[in-house]
Amino acid sequence: MANPVFDNSAVFRGPRSAVVRSADGRAVRADRGPGNGPLLGTAGGAFPASTVDTATLEQMYAAPTATARETGRMTYEDVIVRTAGLLAVIVVVGAATWILAPQLFFVGAIVGLVLGLVNAFKRTPSPALITLYAAAQGVFLGGISAFYDAQWNGVVLQAVLATVSVFAVALVAYRSGKVRVTPKFQRAVMIGLGGYVLFSLVNLGLMLFGAGDGQFGPLRSGGWGFVVGLIAVGLAAASLVMDFDSIKRGVEAGAPRNVAWYAAFGLVVTLVWLYLELLRLAAILRGN
């Protein structure tokens, strides 16, 4: 998977599973057999023999099916609510940073990078640390957006609208089934991301050594920089599609509800990257 947040958790890439209720009413995790066949019990492929009477069994069968929320499993609504909350934190902190102290964007970038790595490799999600990550990204994005807008007025609004548009298109394409996450698709995205990371490191190294006069680095300015930006946006959109697929796997696998924090965090990481690439693209166009 392209996103290390999802790739680090077996919940988002394991076999499809479900939570069912045994004869005594206990919630039991059951994995599907080969070819998504019948559910297999956790004890040698069969549930323990029932010891309850017929009347109790009839009441159990007549009772309404337990929902995902009642069984403590993650739902799409959980992911949506947490993602919206993190984005709200980014927007509020970003707006405050833009107005009060845009020069702190570098601090936000460093803190956000550290917290991003910590959250990506934690065994269990920490809502507090993930929220702090969103706040740090708010400082970074608010500050850098202020500098961009000061030089190219209106470029931030263009980047925001473009980010929302790309997200919507990626979601519709995935939900419609026109874009499917196959092993071939995953390999192509991984290769593209590897090449992009290497390219970005070379560009950064050239900037640090003063090579070229480009504002975004000698390899990210002008027409060539625009082409690279389009490729980066395509990779970010593909990563969003893979994030959607990972979330779907987690919901279908009956992941615990707190895992929704991981899903929201992973989506925010990709959206931040997508926004930065679109902001740079818009600036290149306005610069020309």
The answer to whether the CB of 76 falls within 8 A of the CB of 121 is no
- The answer to the question of residue 151 being in a domain is yes
pLDDT higher than threshold 60 for residue 272: yes
**Of 94, 86, 73, 96, residue with least CA distance to 129:** 86
Give me the mean pLDDT over the 176-181 stretch. Answer: 91
For 248-260, what is each residue's pLDDT tens digit? 999 999 999 999 9
More confident position, 44 or 123: 123
Q: Collapsing DSSP states into helix, strand and coil, what is residue 16?
A: coil
- The answer to the question of residue 86 being in a domain is yes
Q: In what order do the strands lie in the sheet with 27-32?
A: 17-21, 27-32, 39-40
DSSP secondary structure of 20-72: EE-TTS-EEEEEE-TTT-SEE-TTTTSPPPP-S-HHHHHHHHHSPPPPTTTTT
What band does 106 get if pLDDT is binned at 50, 70 and 90?
Answer: very high
User: How far apart are alpha carbons 242 and 11 in whole angstroms?
Assistant: 14
- The answer to the question of residue 185 being in a domain is yes
Instruction: Give the pLDDT score at 209.
Output: 78
* Residue 166 one-letter amino acid: V
The H or E element containing residue 214 is: none
More confident position, 73 or 82: 82
- The answer to the question of residue 40 being in a domain is no
- The answer to the question of residue 276 being in a domain is yes
Instruction: Give the pLDDT score at 85.
Output: 97
More confident position, 272 or 60: 272
- The answer to the question of residue 90 being in a domain is yes
**Of 85, 89, 127, residue with least CA distance to 259:** 127
pLDDT higher than threshold 50 for residue 82: yes
- The answer to the question of residue 231 being in a domain is yes
Domain carrying residue 274: 4-9+70-287
Give me the mean pLDDT over the 259-282 stretch. Answer: 95
Average pLDDT, rounded, for the chain: 82
- Count of domains observed in the chain: 1
Three-state secondary structure of 263-278: HHHHHHHHHHHHHHHH
- The answer to the question of residue 234 being in a domain is yes
